[in-house]
Structure 1
Amino acid sequence: MGVSTSAPHAGVAVVTVDFPPVNALPVQGWYELASAVRGAGRDPDVRCVVLAAAGRGFNAGVDIKEMQRTEGHQALIGANHGCYEAFAAVYDCQVPVVAAVHGFCLGGGIGLVGNADAIVASDDATFGLPELDRGALGAATHLARLVPQHLMRALYYTSRTVTAEELHRHGSVWRVVPRAELSDAALELAREIAAKDGALLRLAKAAINGIDPVDVRRSYRFEQGFTFEANLSGIADRHREAFVSGPSGLSAEAGERR
């Protein structure tokens, strides 16, 4: 359990997240993920990083139960800072990052894949931001990198999800494959990228980030300020408590919905 790094092929590092039951990461988990991605990117022998997950889904966001059982706002502040670090680690990784997504990709998961360089997904993958249902705000910055502006707004306001195939039609998912083929498909793309000159790949990543029309770090930090406002007003806590005390199962644990 936790975050691990492996090297299945020359030039490729795979960072795998495993926090059962649904990969809702605790505060420390976000920092571990950030450290692993940054470490892989700094390795001179690595030319591409694959971000993957074990278990039922790719990512279900922050561990709301941890937040609710912690006195004061320390868990909220920790989660916000941890998410910021993990999202930035993916974006700033010195080499391209390929996200391999299966099952649900929700909340913080959108922040990760929205900052990745490419996404390969299984045909059972769904993507969404149930933030309003959880008393939070944030990651609209990253959802806007996956879908057009008006669709992003509708998805955000309704907490609905979209499928991998729908994102493929929008051009934000590179390839959709059966679940059993996801790892091979992600590694295939990673190996193709890793076949390039490592120094040039690092220059290319820095150049592409440099011409990005949106500063994802600043815009996400701006969003987080409204999450704090929702908490100070008491709105957020009411929604989180309703979530924690709600029915069990994937629909409650991961907030998956259409």
Structure 2
Amino acid sequence: MGVSCSSPENGISVVTVDYPPVNALPVRGWFALADAVRAAGRDPGTRCVILAAEGRGFNAGVDIKEIRTAGQEALIGANRGCAQAFAAVYECETPVVAAVQGFCLGGGIGLVGNADAVVAGEDAVFGLPELDRGALGAATHLARLVPQHLMRALYYTGRTASAAELHAHGSVWRVVPRAQLPGAALELARQIAAKDGRLLRMAKAAINGIDPVDVRRSYRFEQGFTFEANLSGLAGRVRDTFGRREEEGA
């Protein structure tokens, strides 16, 4: 359990997240993920990083139970950890390919929205259930995956978009049967890693440099409203309602 790294082929590093049962990451998990992605990108032998996950889904966001139990310190830690992990993916010195299966929710959108390319299983769904969980954020990253009005509708309703829908919008490179997902991600990473490593790093820096949105500043702006909702007590009331619904549905 946790975050692990492997190198299946020369020039390719795989960072894998495994936090059963649903990959809802605790505070330490977000920082561990950020450290792993940064380390992979700094390795001069790495020319492409694959971000993957074990289990039923790619990522279910932050560990709400940890926040409900530990309170403000856990909230602050989760917000900082998410910001660090998202930035690590975006600023990774080499291209990052996200391999997404099952659910990709909340913080998962932050990771995938900051990746350079996305390969998804046919069962993958993407969404931000933040309003149901007393939080705000990652609209910055959802807006990198779908058009503006769809992003707003998905955000306000908490509904999800399928891998096929994102493929139609051009933000998912390939949609494959789930069993074929690791191979499809590796195939794309292999094509990227075949390029000159130094030139790839220059290309990544150049593309980030012409990005119209400062994703760090944009996401931190959103997080300010999460703090406001928490300080007012509103977020806690929403989280409590969410927790009761979970228990009743269990």
TM-score by length of 2: 0.98
Partner residue in 2 for 1:20: 20
Is 1:203 paired with 2:215? no
Partner residue in 2 for 1:48: 48
Query: Quick one: which amino acid aligns to residue 74 of structure 2?
Result: A
User: What is the rounded CA distance, in whole Å, between the counterparts of 2:237 and 2:19 in structure 1?
Assistant: 25
Partner residue in 1 for 2:9: 9
2:188 partner SS: helix
1:99 partner SS: strand
Task: Quote the offset at 1:179 in angstroms.
Answer: 0.3
Is 1:64 paired with 2:67? no
Partner residue in 1 for 2:238: 239
User: What is the rounded CA distance, in whole Å, between the counterparts of 1:127 and 1:14 in structure 2?
Assistant: 22
User: What is the rounded CA distance, in whole Å, between the counterparts of 2:162 and 2:103 in structure 1?
Assistant: 9
Query: Quick one: which amino acid aligns to residue 13 of structure 1?
Result: S
Task: Quote the offset at 1:102 in angstroms.
Answer: 0.1
Task: Quote the offset at 1:245 in angstroms.
Answer: 2.5
User: What is the rounded CA distance, in whole Å, between the counterparts of 2:246 and 2:84 in structure 1?
Assistant: 31
Partner residue in 1 for 2:102: 103
**After superposition, where does 1:1-258 map in structure 2 within 5 Å?**
1-71=1-71, 73-248=72-247
TM-score by length of 1: 0.95
User: What is the rounded CA distance, in whole Å, between the counterparts of 1:89 and 1:135 in structure 2?
Assistant: 25
User: What is the rounded CA distance, in whole Å, between the counterparts of 1:89 and 1:120 in structure 2?
Assistant: 19
Task: Quote the offset at 1:247 in angstroms.
Answer: 3.1
Task: Quote the offset at 1:164 in angstroms.
Answer: 0.2
Task: Quote the offset at 1:246 in angstroms.
Answer: 2.2
2:213 partner SS: coil
User: What is the rounded CA distance, in whole Å, between the counterparts of 2:133 and 2:70 in structure 1?
Assistant: 16
1:119 partner SS: strand
Query: Quick one: which amino acid aligns to residue 173 of structure 2?
Result: W
Instruction: Let me know the Cα RMSD of the aligned residues.
Output: 1.1
Query: Quick one: which amino acid aligns to residue 36 of structure 2?
Result: A
Task: Quote the offset at 1:160 in angstroms.
Answer: 0.4
Query: Quick one: which amino acid aligns to residue 22 of structure 1?
Result: V
Query: Quick one: which amino acid aligns to residue 142 of structure 1?
Result: H
Query: Quick one: which amino acid aligns to residue 78 of structure 1?
Result: G
Percent of pairs identical after alignment? 77
Task: Quote the offset at 1:240 in angstroms.
Answer: 1.2
User: What is the rounded CA distance, in whole Å, between the counterparts of 1:150 and 1:231 in structure 2?
Assistant: 27
User: What is the rounded CA distance, in whole Å, between the counterparts of 2:243 and 2:198 in structure 1?
Assistant: 47
Per-residue CA shift, 1:14-52, capped at 9, x if unaligned?
000000000000000000000000000000000000000
1:15 partner SS: strand
Per-residue CA shift, 1:154-210, capped at 9, x if unaligned?
100000000000000000000000000000000000000000000000000000000
User: What is the rounded CA distance, in whole Å, between the counterparts of 2:154 and 2:191 in structure 1?
Assistant: 33
User: What is the rounded CA distance, in whole Å, between the counterparts of 1:173 and 1:239 in structure 2?
Assistant: 32
Instruction: Flag structure 2 segments of 5+ consecutive residues without an equivalent.
Output: none
Instruction: Flag structure 1 segments of 5+ consecutive residues without an equivalent.
Output: 253-258
Query: Quick one: which amino acid aligns to residue 23 of structure 1?
Result: N
User: What is the rounded CA distance, in whole Å, between the counterparts of 1:159 and 1:22 in structure 2?
Assistant: 18
User: What is the rounded CA distance, in whole Å, between the counterparts of 1:157 and 1:9 in structure 2?
Assistant: 42
The number of aligned residues is 250
User: What is the rounded CA distance, in whole Å, between the counterparts of 1:132 and 1:69 in structure 2?
Assistant: 20
Task: Quote the offset at 1:248 in angstroms.
Answer: 4.9
2:246 partner SS: coil
Per-residue CA shift, 1:188-236, capped at 9, x if unaligned?
0000000000000000000000000000000000000000000011110
Task: Quote the offset at 1:244 in angstroms.
Answer: 2.1
User: What is the rounded CA distance, in whole Å, between the counterparts of 2:83 and 2:246 in structure 1?
Assistant: 30
User: What is the rounded CA distance, in whole Å, between the counterparts of 1:154 and 1:245 in structure 2?
Assistant: 26
